[in-house]
Amino acid sequence: MMKTSHGFALAGIAIILLAIAPLIVSDYWTGVLLGMTGYVTLATAWALFSGPTRYISLATVAFFGVGAYTVAVLNEALPYPLVLICAAGIGMVMALVVGLSTLRLAGVYFVIFTFGLAELVRQTVSWWEVNVTYTMGRYVFLPFEGRHIYWQLLALAVVTFLIAWTIGRSRIGLALKALGDDETVAAHAGVDVTRIKLLLFVISSTIITLVGAIQAPRWTYIEPSIVFNPTVSFMTLIMALLGGAMRLWGPLVGAVPLFLLFEWLSVSFPDHFSIILGLLFILIVFVMPNGVLAKIEDLRKRGRA
Amino acid sequence: MNKTLFEAARLTRRQTACALAALAIAVGAHGVAAQDRDKVTIGYAISKSGPNAGGADMTVTPNYELWVQEVNAAGGLTLPDGSQLPIEVIAYDDRSSAEEVVRAVERLATQDEVDIILPPWGTGFNLAVAPLMAKFGYPHLAGAAVTDKASDFVERWDTSFWFMGGSVDYVSAFTDILVAEREAGRINDKIAMISVADGFGIDLVKAARPSFEAAGFDITYDKSFPPETSDFATILNEAANSEADTFVAFTYPPHTFALTKQAKVASYSPPVFYLGVGAGFPVYPGIAGGSVEGVMSLGGIDPDNELNSAYRAKHEEIVGRAPDYWGSVLIYASLQMLEQTIERVGLDKSAIADELSTGTFSTVLGEETRLENNQLRAINWVGQWQDGQFVAVSAEGGGGTVAAELPKPDWE
Amino acid sequence: MLEHVVNGLVLGGTYALVAMGLTIQYGIARIMNLGFGDMIIAACFATYVLSTTLSINPIVSLLIIVPAGYAVSDVIYRVLMKPLVDRAPDDGALEVDSILVTFGLLFVIQGVLLAIFGGGYTSYSFLNTPVNVLGTVVAGNRLLALVLSLLIGGALVVILFRSRWGMILRAVALAPHSAPLFGIDTDRAARTAFAIGGAMAATGGVVVSMFQTFTATAGVVFTMKALIVVILGGKGSVPGAIVAGLLLGLVETFVAAYVDPGLTLAAVYTVFLVLLLVRPNGLFGKA
């Protein structure tokens, strides 16, 4: 058994190594680290809510896009830190409204609802830009290079892990375990199910909004079809599920290899990316239905037996 | 908990290390040492899949392939000393994702270390990669990008070059034709206008509103629609009810095709029928199901330009289909300019950029093609289907254009 | 006013036609098929190829493509879905698994289409002839979609509610775990339902290809529209899919005519979200 302090020391070293990496590696690898850190944060934040509640959310890109768009709209009007705070605030309010109105839906209805929400937000933003502000594309000229964005994302990732870790150890964490096992039992045992679900949804969505906001300066030009790209929701989902959404490290274990795999596929098989991706997906479901971590534990148990 | 944490951390590190190693090997196999110089490496990231693939597949990718094949068939790119080097291509799919296109360009610049990077398709994506191209010193020949801010961008990134003009150019050339037609008494002063709620449509409509109004036109119907729209029965109905003689639609190919089909069904044939991207595709008459005489759009070619005719024949022979009548020829001309630049100054990136800015070139557009403030201005702004060809038109004709023939005849 | 009703119903006919197959797959076979739209696109391309290379009339090609859709879906069910159904401990697990597997299927179909046809726009003209309906001129090919959806929908309702075979299918949909106790072969019933859904995706694809421009990657648009219609109508309900499809067509047309064409999709999603909150089981769904 390893002590918590050892774990922290180890994590600390890893973070320092990751933080100095862009000073050593090329811009391309910084870009890869950036994209990877973005998805690790997205997947961890996603699992924060969807793991214990087992609600499969496809609204990731709704919040991600809102974050990016906030930066696009405000980047010339406000100093950058204030822009980020605004983005987080908007994401939080949106999550509260959505959470209050939808968290009683379950199963596939929630899935479809969240996808619909992402589309609705995109259509509304488009319509607003076209008919009210008369602008479609917006420019973000912030003096950030890849590594600046990467450092911000890395910091956000660390915060996200700390939040997930704290929740896992707190009283809420215990309540969540009950919630995941059986919502009715949890409710009878005095757990305020709705409040906890809402709290998690808001925290998770705010982090996702911030990821979008931080990544926005990377593209210079922002329009709804660029930032509300549904692929973001799908990628986040599959990464978290692959690693195992119920575990703290699950999303990370899913996001890192999948991201590198996608990168490798687009480098080596640019013309057959879709087919290989699809086949892999099917394979994952058949071979590792509960995620990589569960599969490893399973194998280890069997090895001991 | 701690145990899993530890195991996971160890596992993750090992996995990452393995994956990184595998990736490095895979990428390394593609990487090309720039020094050995037995070839010129040219890289590009283009949307082979996703929503942008349709546009890229029509206007950009075939021209890249055609040009590379032609150059290599002739022995390769000629350098100033007269020697020739074959082109090797590294092509990625950006999957219509902005993040992907940015990373692909970083990969081409710092990992593959290619000699030249060709641009992606679309205004947004060209702007997304522009800061990187400038940072790594690559000349950026932005082909498929319509923007009114080209001059600002040239100031910001002085190695960027813009080949497709801006919305104001297209709209004001079209307004000139409308004014002449109104003075000739062939159309009234009402315009019905629709646009796709996307970068392209909005940019054009923003330029069109003041241009039409300054010319004394009354825009009686002015709506945008979401890009996913596939049924235009109601919109065309409302446009027809607005009593405008001029119908303008700043659209993408799916809408352009659907609008044409619906206009035929509804027998809606206003004197001026102007559509967006797609009306200049060679397949357009077939998709519309017969004659599209009189339909107007952006672009157009000069049928008397033999260089252009030769290019179209070559494109059909090698790619297997004809190029479109708007962007293709501009993209191809940009590649020809690049080819001649390399012949004059070699592969030094900043020398290439300087020569592109100041040189005069012989391209499919004409014997003396040159850029003004890093922008191509010798563009045909308005085209019209006349006798089965999509020709460049102007109010009076001349200068490589013919006179617009209006009013548009009824659909057959 | 009347013209908007006619236009709305004609547009809605397409939605209904596309959604019926999905509602059967989801309601009876219990497979949430995210690759449904890509099957439609595959049928679009098949029609296009048959029509341009062998000059087979698209309506005649229904005779080839629809049985092919049935057969392909039957195989897909046997190979991909059956193992998932067998191992799933409960309905929730099957739902998640089927979403993930068909998501993979989506990419495979899309990738194959990309490899064969490239990413460009494909479109052709067929039956684009004006037909006068109650004073409103509509396109013949779109009207065909409405007529087909009503005919097929009617036939399905009759089969489901009047035949012994339909009763078996409904029994499997309602109580998949107790149906075997009555000697019902649930596996065969679910496979048949999935294959019928595939055949209907093929039908939808053939008709849609006549008027809509399609690309290899456009499938997800159809999937989403169909999903909305299915959820609105209530999962597994054929009449629900027809009513919800027509309703969406009317909503889009009226918003385009009286509010703003830019808000049609926003309106659709609003209707969808509001209805989901008020009636989570859809118009015709059972709690």
Measuring CA to CA, which residue among A16, A264, A34 is closest to residue B21? A264
Residue C119 near chain A (CB below 8 Å): no
- Residue C140: the pLDDT is 85
Mutate to test the interface with B, among C108, C217, C260 (most CBs of B within 10 A): C217
User: Smallest CA–CA separation between C37 and chain B, in Å?
Assistant: 14
Collapsed DSSP state (helix, strand, coil) of residue B171: helix
- Residue A130: the pLDDT is 78
Partner residue opposite A285 with nearest CB, options C100, C227, C263: C100
Cα R_g (chain B), whole angstroms: 24
Compare all CA atoms of chain C with the CA of A288 and give the residue at the minimum distance. Answer: C97
| C3-29 pLDDT, tens digit each | 888 888 888 998 998 899 999 998 888
Q: What are phi and psi of B208, to 5 degrees?
A: -70, -40
Average pLDDT, chain B: 86
Surface of C (202-221) touching A: CB under 8 A: 220
CB neighbour burial string for B122-151, b if at least 16 within 10 angstroms, e if fewer: bbbbbbbbbbbbbebebbbbbbbbbbbbbe
DSSP state of B301: B
Please indicate, yes or no, if residue C284 is contained in any of the structural domains. Answer: no
Q: What are phi and psi of C137, to 5 degrees?
A: -90, 120
The torsion region of residue B278 among left (phi > 0), alpha (psi -120 to 50) and beta comes to: left
SS3 content of chain A, % helix, strand, coil (to 5): 80, 0, 20
CATH for B2-166+305-369, among 3.40.50.300, 1.10.1040.10, 3.40.50.2300, 3.30.300.30? 3.40.50.2300
Determine whether the interchain pair A111/C115 forms a contact, defined as Cβ–Cβ distance below 8 Å: no
Check whether the bond before A143 is cis (ω within 30° of 0).
no
The continuous run of DSSP H or E covering B193 comes out as strand B190-196
Please indicate, yes or no, if residue C287 is contained in any of the structural domains. Answer: no
Instruction: Tally the C-alpha atoms within 13 A of residue A109's C-alpha that lie toward its C-beta.
Output: 23
Please indicate, yes or no, if residue C215 is contained in any of the structural domains. Answer: yes
Domain at C20, CATH number = 1.10.3470
Domain of C39 in residue numbering reads as 1-278
Q: Check pLDDT > 60 for residue B29.
A: no
The full length of chain B comes to: 412
pTM for the whole thing?
0.85
- Residue B354: the pLDDT is 93
- Residue A234: the pLDDT is 83
CA–CA gap between residue B129 and residue B120 (Å, rounded): 8
Partner residue opposite B124 with nearest CB, options A145, A226, A257: A226
Determine whether the interchain pair A281/C231 forms a contact, defined as Cβ–Cβ distance below 8 Å: no
Please indicate, yes or no, if residue C286 is contained in any of the structural domains. Answer: no
User: Smallest CA–CA separation between C262 and chain B, in Å?
Assistant: 4
Share of chain C above pLDDT 70, in %: 99
Determine whether the interchain pair B127/A139 forms a contact, defined as Cβ–Cβ distance below 8 Å: yes
CA–CA gap between residue B291 and residue B385 (Å, rounded): 9
Contacts of B12 (CB under 8 A, 6+ apart): A249, A252, A253, A256
User: Smallest CA–CA separation between C131 and chain A, in Å?
Assistant: 33
| B38-89 pLDDT, tens digit each | 899 999 999 988 888 888 988 999 999 999 999 999 999 999 998 999 999 9
Work out the average pLDDT over C33-53: 93
Measuring CA to CA, which residue among A46, A66, A67 is closest to residue A122? A66
Contacts of A121 (CB under 8 A, 6+ apart): A62, A65, A66, A228
Determine whether the interchain pair B229/C264 forms a contact, defined as Cβ–Cβ distance below 8 Å: yes
Residues of chain B with CATH 3.40.50.2300: 2-166+305-369, 167-302+381-403
Residue A97 near chain C (CB below 8 Å): no
CA–CA gap between residue C183 and residue A108 (Å, rounded): 30
Determine whether the interchain pair A296/B127 forms a contact, defined as Cβ–Cβ distance below 8 Å: no
Chains with 3 or more CB pairs under 8 A to chain C: A, B
Confirm if B385 and B292 have CB atoms less than 8 A apart: yes
Chains with 3 or more CB pairs under 8 A to chain A: B, C
Q: Check pLDDT > 90 for residue C40.
A: yes
Determine whether the interchain pair C104/A234 forms a contact, defined as Cβ–Cβ distance below 8 Å: no
Low-confidence residues of chain A, pLDDT below 50? 1
Average pLDDT, chain C: 87
- Residue A119: the pLDDT is 81
- Residue B360: the pLDDT is 92
The token pair that represents A148 in the structure block = 């600046």
- Residue A138: the pLDDT is 84
Confirm if C4 and C253 have CB atoms less than 8 A apart: yes
Compare all CA atoms of chain B with the CA of A18 and give the residue at the minimum distance. Answer: B13
Taking CB atoms and an 8 Å cutoff, what residues of chain B touch C265?
A: 226, 228-229
Determine whether the interchain pair A266/B123 forms a contact, defined as Cβ–Cβ distance below 8 Å: no
Sign of CA dihedral C179, C184, C186, C189: negative
Contacts of C174 (CB under 8 A, 6+ apart): none
Compare all CA atoms of chain B with the CA of A269 and give the residue at the minimum distance. Answer: B92
Q: Check pLDDT > 70 for residue B36.
A: no
| C228-266 pLDDT, tens digit each | 898 888 888 889 999 999 999 999 999 988 888 888 888
pLDDT band per the 50, 70, 90 thresholds, residue C280: confident
CA–CA gap between residue A192 and residue B376 (Å, rounded): 65
User: Smallest CA–CA separation between A244 and chain B, in Å?
Assistant: 12
Please indicate, yes or no, if residue C20 is contained in any of the structural domains. Answer: yes
Contacts of A104 (CB under 8 A, 6+ apart): A194
Sign of CA dihedral B316, B319, B324, B328: negative
Surface of A (6-35) touching C: CB under 8 A: none
- Residue A162: the pLDDT is 92
CA B288 to each of CA A265, B1, B178: distance values in angstroms, whole numbers, following the listed order: 39, 65, 25
Compare all CA atoms of chain C with the CA of A100 and give the residue at the minimum distance. Answer: C277
Confirm if A223 and A68 have CB atoms less than 8 A apart: no
Lowest mean pLDDT among B8-12, B336-340, C41-45: B8-12
Measuring CA to CA, which residue among A175, A236, A226 is closest to residue A65? A226
CA–CA gap between residue C244 and residue C17 (Å, rounded): 11
CATH no. for B167-302+381-403:
3.40.50.2300
Question: How many domains are there within chain C?
Answer: 1
- Residue C132: the pLDDT is 86
Chains with 3 or more CB pairs under 8 A to chain B: A, C
Confirm if B179 and B164 have CB atoms less than 8 A apart: no
Q: What are phi and psi of B42, to 5 degrees?
A: -125, 125
Work out the average pLDDT over B366-382: 89
Determine whether the interchain pair B5/A131 forms a contact, defined as Cβ–Cβ distance below 8 Å: no
CA C92 to each of CA A96, B166, B282: distance values in angstroms, whole numbers, following the listed order: 26, 53, 50
Determine whether the interchain pair A7/B206 forms a contact, defined as Cβ–Cβ distance below 8 Å: no
The token pair that represents B339 in the structure block = 């080819």
CA–CA gap between residue C174 and residue C102 (Å, rounded): 23
Contacts of B68 (CB under 8 A, 6+ apart): B42, B87, B89
CA–CA gap between residue C237 and residue C170 (Å, rounded): 10
CA–CA gap between residue B97 and residue B120 (Å, rounded): 11
The token pair that represents B49 in the structure block = 């899949």
First and final C-alpha spacing in chain A:
20
Per-residue DSSP letters for A160-210?
Answer: HHHHHHHHHHSHHHHHHHHHHH-HHHHHHTT--HHHHHHHHHHHHHHHHHH
Q: Check pLDDT > 90 for residue B34.
A: no
Strand ranges for chain C from DSSP E: 130-133, 136-139
CA C63 to each of CA B303, C59, C146, C202: distance values in angstroms, whole numbers, following the listed order: 45, 8, 19, 10
